[in-house]
Amino acid sequence: MRDFFTAGVRSHARLLVPAFAALALASCGGGGGGGSSNTGCPGGFLTCNGSGTDATAQAPKFTLTLVDAGTGAASNNLTSGKPLTVRALLLTAAGAPLANKVVTFTTNNALATFDPASGTRLTDANGYTTITLLAADLSSSGAAEVSATVDVSGTAVTQKVAYSVSPGVVTLSGLAANSTSLSAYGSTSVSVQVYFNGSLSATPLTVNFASGCSSNGKASLTSSVTTVNGVATATYTDKGCAGTDVITATVQGASAQTSIAVAAPKASNIGYVSATPSSIVLAGTGGGGLSSDSVVTFKVVDSTNTPVASKSVSFDLSTRVGGIKLNGQSSGAVQATSDSSGLVSVTVSAGSVPTPVWVTATLVDDPTIKTQSTNLTISTGRPTQDRFSLSVGTFNIEGWNRDGIRTTATVYAFDRLGNPVADGTVVNFISEGAGVDPFCTTKAGGCSVNITSGELRPRVDSEPSSFGVTAGRVTILAYAQGEESFDDANTNNVYDAGETFRDLGDAFVDNNENKTWSSGEREIQFSSSSTAACPAYPSDGRYYNAPYKSGTCDGVWGAAHVRRNIVITLSSFAIGTVTPSVFTMPALPACTGSFTFRLSDVNNNPMPAGAAISAVSGVTYTNDTGETVKATVSIPQGNETVPNTNAPGGTFHTIVVEGSKCTTKPVGSVTINVTSPSGDASARTITIN
């Protein structure tokens, strides 16, 4: 096409040059004397007036035309995929070609672009150049102008030509999968033809593919594909779709759909996943974080261990003792269907009897495929008063003069059958003085908290002891949601009307250790409606440290705060009392005496546990040779340290004064030294007569 057009231009130029020359001569009075090329019309760029003496510059000739880039036919309608060619011809006013001139093309970039993108071209020897005009995109629509500008001898010459832009029409046809029926986890190709303005698109276009299963991870599908010769091909791979999957292809607003029938995978195994929670309590004994129901979950998979959905599973129990239910049914198997993750669940509800129980799961389609859960425990769950105990690591800590001395309080809680309560059962603590952690949660029935010395230190107490008022004694209360104990006469593990039970009133911190609530002692109320009289404490002493406030019982067996009180002492390192302080040796001929004394701290409590006790002899006697000899003073084994105790009045210890061949009784003094666990020492002297 270029050679044809170039030849035409050359021919056109040969015709134009004589014509422009004739016009120039005519305008200068040509055909007669006085007309010449150098009489005011140099280079053909000047137009002479009739006199031949007044010349003005003549602009060069600059023309623009638009043709179809494919056919060369004149056209000013631009469409995506069908570019136009912009032709520019630059001649002098006399018709001579202007070569090697830079022509700059511009247009509305929102509608069209140029190739080359710079928009600049150089005229050839014939004054001719071209540039390609392309639609900006498939949807471009509107009208604009191509503007071409060239500099000729310092003067910018501009020419314009108008064009319109029509959007291309994209259609899709023949969307289909190579295999419309696909086996589980199989793959196939999916192809679609893309037409542009009625013909297969020669321009590469991006086609997007999507499907229902690919959107939720049950299939993989190439999401975008660029056409090759007007065809886009994607790859589809099943990942457990198991059904009809609709595939959609879209490009430039056009769309098409097809479907693939994907076979369901064959279930080959069912496995136990979990029981939540793994331990439940008897029906009617829940609350406080405990449940009487457990959700047991299994998973259906195929031979590749991939989850299989929509499979029916039958469930049954290893035992129904006590009325255990499965999905609310008291008897018979129940069925459920696996979800998209292959998971299938059933609910086990406890009955009235503690027992281990297993859930059996069987695939309905193939009863040979079955499994069972791990052991699910059904217990009473909540602690009963008779089986709720509290202990401390050290009763008498060196806390009267020191802060931060710690001991532990440990609770063990069991149900009415002696089984540990459910893990996570909360036990609360409050104290009369010092500090205590607010709660602990049980594991295997037990849990512990720290008791830490510090203020408040009780300074005036009235504990009922023969040693009078004793300060430094701290009562700790531990309590939990539980139940009143009863005598299960028929051993059915359920309270039946008429069976003996031990009614519990409100728990309290028994500051003065008299087992009776006194004004100022902190009470833990269980129910504001409980105002009945409370029974006497059991005569066997089992509730000696589980007091309840009178007039706060309800007369009905049921839930209650199970509780225990325990007392620790904040003991001083200094000796408060050594009594008696005077002992009398046996009469001669005895030469040895054994004496027991009571040792207490400044508050008449035991000195700190583990404090070391020693004795220094100041006792002398005369032996059979007439010499004055110092008697030996010793502390028998088991008396040389302060024991772990909270006994009011302190602890008892023995010393032995021993001589040999006495002719006089050993007499004098013995110094009792006590060194606390922290290293502080204190001493007292006793007299031996």
- Return the CATH number at 610: 2.60.40
The beta-strand segments (E) located in 123-223 are 128-135, 142-152, 155-166, 170-177, 181-182, 187-196, 199-200, 206-211, 219-221
What tokens appear for 308 in the block?
A: 């299989």
SS (H, E, C) 612-677: EEEEEEEEEEEECCCCEEECEEECCCCCCECCCCCCCCCEEEEEEEECCCECCCCEEEEEEEEECC
Closest CA to 360 of 369, 278, 276, 349: 369
CA distances from 136 to 165, 252, 557, 590 (A): 9, 14, 87, 128
* pLDDT category of residue 29 using cuts at 50, 70 and 90: very low
**For 399-418, what is the mean pLDDT?**
96
**153/209 same-domain check:** no
Q: Using one digit for the tens of pLDDT, what is the confidence trace for 313-345?
A: 999 999 999 899 999 999 999 999 999 899 999
Residue 662 near residue 628, CB atoms below 8 Å: no
**422/552 same-domain check:** yes
**525/599 same-domain check:** no
Closest CA to 236 of 275, 300, 188: 188
pLDDT at position 163, please? Answer: 97
Higher pLDDT among residues 137 and 623, named by residue: 623
Asked whether residue 568 carries a pLDDT value surpassing 90, the answer given is yes
Q: How does DSSP classify residue 144?
A: E
**39/119 same-domain check:** yes
pLDDT at position 265, please? Answer: 86
Element housing 16 (H / E)? helix 2-27
Q: 70 pairs with which residues across the strands? A: none
Block residue for tokens 């108008």: 162
Closest CA to 475 of 506, 509, 449, 508: 509
Integer Cα distance of 589 and 169 in angstroms = 135
**For 289-303, what is the mean pLDDT?**
91
Using a 10 angstrom Cβ sphere, with 0-12 exposed, 13-18 middle and 19 or more buried, the burial of residue 508 is: buried
* pLDDT category of residue 652 using cuts at 50, 70 and 90: very high
Block residue for tokens 């000047």: 46
At residue 6, φ and ψ (nearest 5 deg) are: -65, -40
77-83-89 Cα angle (round to 5): 85
**For 484-505, what is the mean pLDDT?**
92
**289/420 same-domain check:** no
pLDDT at position 500, please? Answer: 95
**20/113 same-domain check:** yes
Asked whether residue 24 carries a pLDDT value surpassing 80, the answer given is no
**120/197 same-domain check:** no
Of 262, 279, 299, which marks where a domain is finished?
A: 262
* pLDDT category of residue 202 using cuts at 50, 70 and 90: confident
DSSP β-ladder status, 575-579 and 592-601: antiparallel
pLDDT at position 463, please? Answer: 66
CA distances from 362 to 554, 562, 686 (A): 49, 43, 84
**360/401 same-domain check:** no
Asked whether residue 35 carries a pLDDT value surpassing 50, the answer given is no
pLDDT at position 377, please? Answer: 85
**For 373-378, what is the mean pLDDT?**
85
72: left (phi over 0), alpha (psi -120 to 50) or beta: left
* Tally of structural domains, the chain: 5
pLDDT at position 598, please? Answer: 96
pTM: 0.58
At residue 242, φ and ψ (nearest 5 deg) are: 55, 65
Q: Using one digit for the tens of pLDDT, what is the confidence trace for 630-650?
A: 999 999 998 899 999 999 999
* pLDDT category of residue 461 using cuts at 50, 70 and 90: low
Of 262, 291, 312, which marks where a domain is finished?
A: 262
What letter represents residue 604's amino acid? Answer: N
Q: How does DSSP classify residue 38?
A: T
Q: Considering the chain, what percentage of its residues have pLDDT values greater than 90?
A: 74
**439/563 same-domain check:** yes
Burial 347-384 (b: 16+ CB within 10 A, else e): bbbbbbbbbebbbebbbeeeeebbebbeebbbbbbbbb
pLDDT at position 21, please? Answer: 36
Asked whether residue 10 carries a pLDDT value surpassing 80, the answer given is no
**236/300 same-domain check:** no
Q: 95 pairs with which residues across the strands? A: none
pLDDT at position 281, please? Answer: 85
Residue 94 near residue 43, CB atoms below 8 Å: yes
Asked whether residue 15 carries a pLDDT value surpassing 70, the answer given is no
681-688 β-sheet, strand order: 582-583, 681-688, 667-675, 612-622, 628-630
* pLDDT category of residue 556 using cuts at 50, 70 and 90: very high
pLDDT at position 376, please? Answer: 87
Q: 376 pairs with which residues across the strands? A: 357
**102/237 same-domain check:** no
- Torsion, Cα of 467, 470, 472, 474 (10° steps): 90
Closest CA to 401 of 642, 601, 568: 601
Tell me the three state secondary structure of residue 510: coil
Q: Which of 13-22, 104-113, 175-184, 579-588 has the lowest mean pLDDT?
A: 13-22
Average pLDDT of the chain is 89
Q: Using one digit for the tens of pLDDT, what is the confidence trace for 162-185?
A: 999 998 889 999 999 999 999 888
pLDDT at position 16, please? Answer: 37
Closest CA to 453 of 401, 510, 511, 390: 401
pLDDT at position 17, please? Answer: 37
pLDDT at position 354, please? Answer: 81
DSSP β-ladder status, 343-349 and 293-302: antiparallel
Of 208, 231, 262, which marks where a domain is finished?
A: 262
The domain that holds 212 is classified in CATH as 2.60.40.10
Burial 245-267 (b: 16+ CB within 10 A, else e): bebebbbbebebebebebeebeb
**For 37-55, what is the mean pLDDT?**
34
Query: Highest-confidence range of 26-35, 77-86, 197-206, 282-291, by mean pLDDT?
Result: 77-86
Q: Write out the residue range of the structural domain in which residue 583 sits.
A: 575-688
**479/552 same-domain check:** yes
Integer Cα distance of 69 and 81 in angstroms = 10
